[in-house]
């Protein structure tokens, strides 16, 4: 009965004369099963996640994957290819010629049909007779029929309208026959039956089925044919094609067989925290790594991830960072280590934004998708290629994906194809850097990610210089509800906390005794930073501070000023250049076109990074973009007040690498600018928590001019983030209480979103930050040199479709939301197009309703009030 239904069909004008123009429903369904078989055979990680080494679990998995397109056994779907429908002769032509299937969605319809018709397939006349079986099917069928982007929940099928009852009965009979065929082929040999309750659906099933469907839709491997071989024989025939499709996709690569520092970084002498990772249990779990800035946490995390890869506990790594700049910086480091993690292969190291890297394993897949089919955009391969063509999503399917944390958080939000992210993360060791840097809203989402990773049997490694106890406890509780931290964790530093899937929590080092000293050449582990506090309105640098900056730079020092606002950084850079044209002043912040920011970032790393050549001094004026993950080394630092954990991150850029320091900079020293405003003014609006800023300032004023590390990491952090009241002024307490209430509301909002059953939003880059941040903190502006032309002169319409989104993304500038009144309205994509006129070399300007906006490659986007 199902043999006369098509599953794939070319448009008549695209069908070659020497090949079939359609592919039977049954054979396409089995192509997808063949891909699933090949992937499971190649992946110990997925076999464990799906429990498919148990023949009964494997049988149910194959059975439901074969039902992923059940909704195609319906005249409304079949009418999408009228010529094929007519040729197959399944229906009387005069009874179906009027049917319009353009709005028919076979995924949710197949879900509703399957659950609604299951009792009849089991021989029941009472809908509730097999309610336990129906409930058991529900998560399985929802997962496999949601493969086009959205998990269905509605059990009521759409109205048939003009479809006559005899036609509907033909389709019901075809669906029943296909289900029986699959039960005979997959369930019966394993001792299972339709009327038994299946095991719980695996958490990674939806993403797994979607990717299997994408690969199984590629006609380069699965050519169309119209015969009807037996199921087992056909799967045997397609096994080689499935293995080739999987191999060529780049989804699987053999990993190293031995992990640890010696295997991944054989030329390095392990540092303190890096020696501890070899003592961790090699099993799925959550690992928190707390160690000083610059102590090698990244290498430690990769060494431990290598242990998990070698043991078959994962088959990839997803490295999530707080910002695009930190992700860029991490990419080169991971590209260098990839051959050690995946020896003898071209491992896919994929950056989750930008156009600098393309994954060659997917180029052919994207090319194949240009051949549109009769299903138009509903076709699985078109969706696959369109999704993979955006590198942010691709990152989670490579062997090593480097992304902003937003891309990971989307896995638990109501976004199309979120389940593919869940699969990419679940099969990987998830490493999240700078985990202290997120607000309560993002923490709420991260906790949901950790819970999902635990449910999938995966692993996560979270990195931070230090975490307050309450934050550490929240993360551990997200992984395993009800688990409490031992008090012994409070005093140890550095500290590795390992939470297995089951069993006792493990702390390393095992005692409060200090670990062995750092190897020679790495500098002393304990260190003291001399601190001087200067109070000034808005924490602006005084003339004396500017003179000192210039003097140290003229003496050969590489010095930095970190501002909390882009506007302040731009103004300060201009002031320093006007004050001393003989001193090199660099500027780095986030308000550039992405392409300009990338180029500037490379230059900053070249002159302030570990490989920077000694020579003339210079000054870097920067914002928060330099405080996380960028490997920079300064001789002296001036910084505006910020929360203590972020201040410690900034101090970690002082004397980071052993080298000869300029005269006057041999002491590790920092000047902290404190605002004179009692409520901390604009700095409180940036960081929110007035109590944290007040306590940080108080600790700085009372530290006798020195901060001693690593002792300060625990003592200062716990004191500043203590949830009990201290002796703060009443006004500060009131501001802090209001902030805490707002944070609680954000955490609740995050929880609601992760549980929301709504129509999923399109997975567009412009929506990412709006979903993953508490508030859309920036507006995406697209500066144009003329209508439809980017600043580099390229006409957007002339850019190839696969490169257009990336080109636009490279040209965007993120500006504060408070600029909305200065800008035109956003377009349908959420972007704000801004036509600008040339204003000298590499600069453009425009006059808006509130004043002039100017963009330059040197300073970024600025505004000038009228």
Digit-coded pLDDT (tens) for 496-509:
999 998 888 898 88
Look up the CATH number of the domain holding residue 652: 3.40.50.300
**Encoded tokens for 665:** 């900079």
CA dist 190 and 60 (Å) reads 9
pLDDT value for 353: 46
* Range of weakest confidence among 569-583, 669-683, 742-756: 742-756
Yes or no: say if 276 and 513 are a contact pair by the CB < 8 Å rule.
no
| CATH number, position 188 | 1.10.3210.30
Q: Are residues 557 and 432 in the same domain?
A: no
Residue-level pLDDT at 399: 84
The residue from 680, 709, 738 where one domain ends is 709
Give residue 390's pLDDT. Answer: 45
What's the mean pLDDT in 300-313?
94
Same domain, 615 and 642: yes
Is the pLDDT reported for residue 31 higher than 50? yes
382: enclosing H helix or E strand: helix 380-388
Reported confidence tier of residue 809, pLDDT bands at 50, 70, 90: confident
Q: Are residues 498 and 542 in the same domain?
A: no
Single out the residue in 690, 709, 728 at which a domain terminates.
709
Alpha carbon distance 26, 170 (integer Å): 16
What average pLDDT score do residues 636-661 get?
Answer: 91
- Of 249, 269, 287, at which residue does a domain stop? 249
**HEC readout, 412-446:** HCCECCHHHHHHHHHCEEEEECCHHHCCHHHHHHH
Are 21 and 128 members of one domain?
A: yes
**Omega into 595 within 30° of 0, i.e. cis?**
no
Residue 866 or 63, more confident: 63
**For position 299, what pLDDT does the model report?**
94
Per-residue pLDDT at 25 exceeds 90: yes
DSSP assignment letter at 820: G
How does the average pLDDT of the chain come out, rounded? 86
The whole-number average pLDDT for the span 839-851 is 90
* Closest C-alpha among 171, 342, 276, 660 to residue 506: 276
Sole residue written with tokens 């924490």: 539
**What value does the mean pLDDT take over residues 822-842?**
90
Pairing of strands 778-786, 706-709: unpaired
> 3-state DSSP call for residue 7?
strand
Does any domain span residue 407?
Answer: yes
Note the pLDDT of residue 656.
86
The alpha carbon torsion through 414, 415, 416, 419 (nearest 10 deg) reads -70
- Cα–Cα distance measured from residue 463 to residue 484, given in angstroms and rounded to the nearest whole number: 20
pLDDT, position 21: 85
The β-bridge relationship of strands 285-290 and 22-24 is unpaired
Going by pLDDT thresholds of 50, 70 and 90, the confidence category of residue 369 is very low
Closest alpha carbon to 450 in 462, 439, 438, 441: 462
Ranking 58-67, 517-526, 589-598, 812-821 by mean pLDDT, the lowest is 517-526
Tell me how crowded residue 258 is: count the other CB atoms within 10 A of its CB. 11
- Dist CA 858 CA 860 (whole Å): 6
pLDDT of 112 strictly over 90: yes
When pLDDT is cut at 50, 70 and 90, the band that residue 127 belongs to is low
Q: In the structure, what pLDDT confidence band is assigned to residue 362 with cuts at 50, 70 and 90?
A: very low
User: What pLDDT score was predicted for residue 156?
Assistant: 75
Query: Which of 565, 563, 543 is closest to 862 using CA atoms?
Result: 565
Q: Is residue 432 part of a domain?
A: yes
Tokens 């699969």 correspond to 423
Res. 365 pLDDT band, cuts 50 70 90? very low
Question: Tokens 């600008």 — which residue?
Answer: 836
Cα within 13 Å of Cα(508), Cβ side: 18
* 230 in the same domain as 278: no
Does 745 fall in a domain?
A: no
- Is 70 inside a domain boundary? yes
pLDDT score of 856 more than 50: yes
Q: Which of 239-248, 560-569, 660-669 has the highest mean pLDDT?
A: 560-569
Scan for tokens 């003009």, then name that residue.
Answer: 162
How much is the average pLDDT of 458-480? 92
Asked if 245 and 268 sit in the same domain, the reply is no
165's enclosing H/E stretch is helix 165-182
| 715 in any annotated domain | no
pLDDT band at 525 (very low <50, low <70, confident <90, very high): low
162 — pLDDT class (breaks 50, 70, 90): confident
In a domain, 729, yes or no: no
pLDDT computed for residue 379 by the predictor:
56
Q: Is residue 730 one of the residues assigned to a domain?
A: no
**What does the pLDDT read at residue 580?**
96
Tell me which residue has tokens 């929110």: 688
| Co-location of 281 and 230 in the same domain | no
What residues does 708 pair with on adjacent strands? Answer: 528
In contact, 476 and 505? CB cutoff 8 Å: yes
Helix 690-701 and helix 644-651, axial crossing angle in degrees, nearest 10: 50
Q: What is the pLDDT of residue 385?
A: 43
Q: Give me the pLDDT at residue 598, please.
A: 84
Six token digits for residue 853: 């906006």
320 and 443 assigned to the same domain: yes
Residue 771 has pLDDT above 80, yes or no: no
Higher-scoring residue by pLDDT: 291, 362: 291
Residues 441 and 561 occupy one common structural domain: no
The Cα–Cα gap between 463 and 466 comes to 8
Tokens (6 digits) for 507: 């702390």
Domain that holds residue 309: 261-358+399-508
C-alpha dihedral sign at 655, 659, 660, 662: negative
Are 6 and 81 a contacting pair, CB within 8 Å?
yes
210 and 291 share one domain: no
Residue 537: predicted pLDDT? 97
Which residues are CB-contacts of 258 (< 8 A; sequence separation ≥ 6)? 306, 310
Structural domain includes residue 735: no
- Pair 482, 534 in one domain: no
Looking at the DSSP bridge assignments, the partners of residue 23 are 8
Residues 190 and 274 in one domain: no
pLDDT digits (tens, 9 = 90+) for 182-192: 999 999 999 99
**Burial per residue of 502-514, b for 16 or more beta-carbon CB atoms within 10 angstroms, e otherwise:** eeebbbbbeeeee
Give the DSSP letter string of 34-90.
HHHHHHHHH-HHHHHHHTTTSHHHHHHHHHHHHTTTGGGSSHHHHTTSHHHHHHHT-
Compare 484 and 280 and report the one with higher pLDDT: 280
| Number of independent structural domains in the chain | 4
pLDDT tens-digit profile of 315-357? Answer: 999 999 887 767 777 877 888 888 888 887 666 676 654 333 4
| 728 compared with 656, residue with greater pLDDT | 728
Q: Above 60 in pLDDT, residue 776? A: no
pLDDT > 50? residue 37: yes
Task: Report the pLDDT averaged over residues 401-413.
Answer: 87
């Amino acid at each position: 009965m199902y043999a006369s239904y098509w599953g794939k069909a070319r448009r008549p004008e695209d069908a070659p004369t020497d090949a079939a123009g359609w592919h039977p429903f049954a054979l396409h369904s089995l192509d997808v099963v063949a891909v699933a078989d090949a992937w499971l055979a190649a992946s110990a990680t997925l076999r464990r996640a799906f429990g498919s080494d148990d023949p009964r679990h494997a049988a149910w998995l194959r059975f439901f994957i074969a039902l992923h397109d059940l909704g195609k056994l319906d005249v409304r779907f079949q009418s999408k290819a009228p010529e094929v429908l007519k040729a197959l002769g399944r229906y009387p032509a005069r009874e179906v010629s009027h049917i319009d299937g353009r709005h028919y969605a076979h995924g949710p319809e197949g879900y509703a049909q399957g659950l609604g018709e299951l009792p009849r397939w089991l021989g029941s006349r009472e809908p509730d007779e097999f309610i336990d079986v129906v409930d058991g099917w529900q998560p399985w069928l929802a997962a496999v029929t949601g493969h086009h982007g959205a998990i269905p929940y509605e059990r009521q099928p759409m109205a048939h309208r003009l479809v006559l009852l005899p036609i509907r009965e033909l389709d019901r009979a075809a669906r029943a026959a296909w289900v029986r065929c699959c039960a005979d082929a997959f369930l019966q040999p394993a001792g299972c039956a339709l009327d038994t309750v299946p095991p719980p659906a695996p958490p990674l099933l939806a993403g797994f089925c979607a990717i299997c469907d994408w690969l199984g839709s590629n006609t380069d491997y699965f050519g169309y044919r119209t015969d009807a071989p037996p199921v087992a024989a056909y799967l045997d025939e397609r096994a080689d094609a499935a293995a080739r499709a999987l191999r060529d996709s780049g989804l699987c690569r053999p990993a190293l067989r031995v992990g640890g520092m010696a295997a991944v970084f054989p030329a390095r002498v392990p540092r303190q925290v890096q020696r501890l990772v070899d003592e961790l249990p090699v099993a799925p779990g959550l690992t928190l790594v707390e160690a000083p800035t610059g102590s090698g946490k990244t290498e430690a995390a990769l060494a431990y991830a290598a242990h998990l890869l070698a043991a078959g506990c994962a088959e990839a790594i997803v490295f999530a960072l707080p910002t695009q700049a930190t992700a860029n910086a991490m990419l080169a480091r991971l590209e260098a280590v990839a051959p050690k993690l995946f020896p003898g292969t071209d491992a896919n190291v994929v950056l989750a934004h930008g156009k600098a890297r393309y994954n060659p394993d997917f180029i052919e897949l994207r090319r194949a998708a240009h051949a549109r089919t009769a299903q138009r955009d509903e076709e699985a391969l078109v969706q696959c290629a369109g999704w993979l063509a955006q590198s942010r999503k691709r990152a989670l399917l490579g062997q090593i994906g480097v992304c902003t944390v937003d891309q990971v958080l989307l896995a638990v939000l109501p976004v199309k194809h979120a389940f593919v992210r869940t699969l990419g993360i679940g099969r990987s060791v998830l490493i999240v850097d700078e985990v202290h840097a997120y607000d309560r809203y993002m923490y709420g989402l991260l906790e949901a990610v950790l819970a999902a990773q635990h449910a999938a049997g995966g692993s996560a490694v979270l990195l931070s210089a230090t975490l307050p106890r309450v934050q550490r406890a929240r993360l551990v509780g997200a992984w395993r509800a009800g688990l409490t931290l031992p008090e012994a964790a409070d005093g140890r530093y550095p500290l590795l906390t390992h939470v297995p899937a089951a069993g006792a929590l493990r702390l390393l080092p095992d005692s409060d005794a200090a670990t062995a000293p750092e190897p020679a050449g790495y500098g002393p582990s304990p260190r003291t930073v001399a601190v001087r506090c200067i109070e000034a309105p808005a924490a602006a640098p005084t003339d004396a501070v500017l003179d000192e900056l210039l003097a140290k730079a003229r003496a050969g020092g590489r010095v930095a000023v970190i501002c909390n606002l882009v506007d302040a950084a731009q103004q300060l850079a201009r002031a320093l250049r006007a004050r001393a044209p003989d001193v090199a002043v660099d500027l780095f912040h986030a308000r550039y076109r992405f392409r300009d920011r990338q180029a500037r970032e490379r230059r900053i790393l070249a002159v302030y990074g570990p490989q920077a050549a000694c020579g003339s001094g210079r000054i870097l004026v920067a914002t928060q973009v330099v405080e996380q993950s960028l490997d920079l080394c300064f001789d002296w630092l001036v910084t505006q007040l910020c929360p203590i954990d972020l201040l410690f991150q900034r101090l970690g850029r002082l004397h980071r690498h052993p080298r000869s320091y300029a005269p006057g900079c041999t002491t590790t020293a920092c000047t902290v600018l404190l605002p004179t405003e009692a409520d901390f003014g604009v700095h409180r609006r940036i960081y929110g928590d007035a109590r944290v800023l007040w306590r940080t300032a108080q600790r700085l004023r009372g530290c006798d001019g020195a901060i001693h590390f690593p002792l300060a990491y625990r003592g200062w952090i716990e004191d500043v983030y203590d949830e009990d009241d201290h002796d703060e002024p009443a006004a500060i307490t009131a501001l802090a209480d209001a902030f805490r209430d707002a944070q609680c509301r954000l955490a609740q909002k995050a929880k609601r979103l992760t549980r929301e059953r709504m129509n999923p939003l399109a997975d567009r880059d412009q929506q990412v930050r709006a979903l993953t941040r508490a508030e859309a903190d920036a507006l995406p502006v697209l500066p144009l040199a003329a209508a439809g032309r980017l600043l580099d002169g390229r006409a957007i319409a002339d850019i190839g479709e696969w490169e257009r989104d990336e080109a636009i993304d490279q040209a965007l500038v993120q500006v504060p939301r408070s600029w909305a009144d200065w800008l035109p309205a956003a377009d349908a994509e959420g972007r704000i197009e801004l036509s600008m006129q040339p204003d000298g070399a590499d600069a453009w300007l425009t006059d808006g309703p509130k004043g002039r906006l100017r963009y330059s490659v040197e300073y970024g986007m600025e505004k000038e009030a009228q």
